[in-house]
Chain A
Amino acid sequence: MKLTGLSFDALPPIDLPFRFFICAPFFMLLCAGVILVSGESLWLSRWQPSMLALIHGFTLGFLTMVMLGALLQLLPVIAGIGIVKPRPVACFSHALLSLGTLSLMAGFMYFDALLIYSAMLLLALALGVYIAALIWVLIKKLSQGDSIWGFRLATFSLLVVTLLGLALLARNLGVEWIPTTKMVTNVHALWGLTGWAGILIIAVSFQVIPMFHVAPAFPLWVRRFLIPAIFIALILSIAFPTLGLAAINGLHAIFALVLLFVIHQRKRKVPDTSIRYWQLGALALLLSSLLFFIPETLWNRYLAVNKTHLLVALFLFFYLMSIIQGMLLKILPFLSYTHLQQRCLINFEAMQYIPNMHEFLNKKHGQWLFYLHIISGLLLIFVLAWPSLYAAFAVSLALESIGLLAIMLKIMSLYFAVNTKISQAAK
């Protein structure tokens, strides 16, 4: 097949993904603050208002924030086509997602109707505009079909999660669009964690692991069938929760094993913190998927931790957040370097100003962040069993967010300094 003369999108300006990424550690820091001020009572039930604030701080403020920023760059790289008018879409969605998440967290903490109404409006607009922009790209016939189908199903899941979330908030304010049952909340949570975040990560892994780590491609049967199977299991879980959840956990266990295998098969086995995050995430996913199959009665007899709480902690903190943080450590220096490199196509003299990749991210700093993440995760597990340890978890999480922020600021400031130097040299 010959390809010539077709039009492909360049990477959007780097400040667009940067603005999403830089907000993520601030939301992590805010989550640490919520844990600290809420005290032991936070850990009594998943229905605690401050627990709802905490969960949405992690899922909207950290995970969704980074994923929306990353998609701006991933689509042109994987599919050759990016979001139309990326600047207005990204600036609008980013600003409203940040304000909406803050408003939602405050609304849960203080149960203020005005804050909840504001959050509904801001999040509906932020996610609505971004989802519409994604659909505009994803309805086209694109290459890299396996990953693109993952992006499509993840985007659909985000739409479902957003609509259910809005309906749940409206119900809390007395507007009964949906029946008063915990089933809707469970569907909202499951589609958010395994549909939106989970499917997107699997789709991204099909591209990122072979590309960045010179590993073999995922087996064809995994690329073809895993994501559709998870999506079918998600639909099944609405009517048959036990069966659907069992299928989702079984499929996740398969993905975790294949992911570990593909990582093990990589050609360049150089020490890399990003790959250790992927391995940690895969092990946590495998563990949470296997623990799911322990019957509740047996669990309660031998384990002092609530089963659902532990599985969600493993999935959210040790799987999703590990992978997202690992990817940030990989793509932030890469994007900075690539954007600078592309300027050299016009002026090769500018190549002399581009620093070494290692100058963007000191390997030691990445390792410290990785260890801090493990400590925070273990403290989270301890807090589930002994809530009085909450302050230690909050402090560790705060340190982790500050570490991540410092790494990001260093990379971004180096990028802008070199970019300015190249512009000045060109004059």
Chain B
Amino acid sequence: MTLLTEIDVRELPPPEPMTAILSALSTLPQQGMLRVHHSRQPYPLYAKLEAAGWAYECEQLSDHYFLISIYRQLDSSP
């Protein structure tokens, strides 16, 4: 099973990027990572991701090109 899933939502109007992200996250393996090619920072998504137990990193490649990596937060419970 591949651990890295990539989707490009740069040319999708809202709310389609979120639909694509949700759909990809729902099938992501436990140790997997989703890499999203986005045209902007989906700020409100970040807060919701953290609340739902996901971690993220964002890298800005140019003015309108962002690479967002999403993966499950490490379980710190005993």
**Residues on A facing B (Cβ under 8 Å):** 1-4, 6-11, 76-80, 143, 210-214, 217, 267-268, 334, 337-338, 341-342, 344-346, 348, 351, 357
Contacts and interface: CB of A to CB of B under 8 A. Distances in A.
A341 B57 contact: no
Contacts of B56: 4
Given A1-B59, A2-B58, A3-B59, A8 B43 contact: yes
B12, B26, B54 — most chain A CB neighbours (10 Å)? B26
A10 B15 contact: no
B11 A214 contact: yes
Given A2-B59, A77-B43, A217-B64, A345 B22 contact: yes
B15 A357 contact: yes
B31 interface: no
B47 A4 contact: no
Contact of A334 (B15, B23, B26): B15
Contacts of B45: 342
19 contacts: A1-B59, A2-B57, A3-B60, A9-B44, A77-B43, A210-B39, A211-B39, A212-B13, A267-B11, A268-B13, A334-B14, A337-B15, A342-B45, A345-B22, A345-B52, A348-B22, A348-B26, A351-B26, A357-B15
Contacts of A357: 15
B18 A341 contact: yes
B41 interface: yes
Contact of A212 (B14, B18, B48, B58): B14
A405 B77 CA distance: 49
- In the complex, which of the residues B13, B22, B25, B45 has the most CB atoms of chain A within 10 Å of its own CB atom? B13
Interface string B20-64: 001101100000000000011101111111011110111110011
B19 A341 contact: yes
Nearest to B55: A4
B25 A342 contact: no
Contact of B43 (A9, A210, A348): A9
Q: Is the interface of B mostly helix, strand, loop or mixed?
A: mixed
Contacts of B60: 1-3
Contacts of B13: 211-214, 268
A140 to B, nearest CB: 14
A46 to B, nearest CB: 40
Contact of B44 (A6, A7, A76): A76
A411 B18 CA distance: 19
A423 to B, nearest CB: 16
A357 B22 CA distance: 16
- 6 closest A-B pairs by beta carbon, nearest first, are A10-B47, A80-B43, A345-B52, A348-B26, A3-B58, A1-B60
B14 A211 contact: yes
Nearest to B60: A1
Contacts of B18: 338, 341-342
A10 B52 CA distance: 12
Contacts of B44: 8-11, 76-77, 338, 342
Contacts of B43: 8-9, 76-80
Contact of B15 (A1, A78, A338): A338
Contacts of A348: 22, 25-26
Contacts of A213: 13
A345 B14 contact: no
Contacts of B40: 211
A405 B61 CA distance: 43
B59 A341 contact: no
Nearest to A350: B22
Contact of B22 (A7, A76, A268, A341): A341
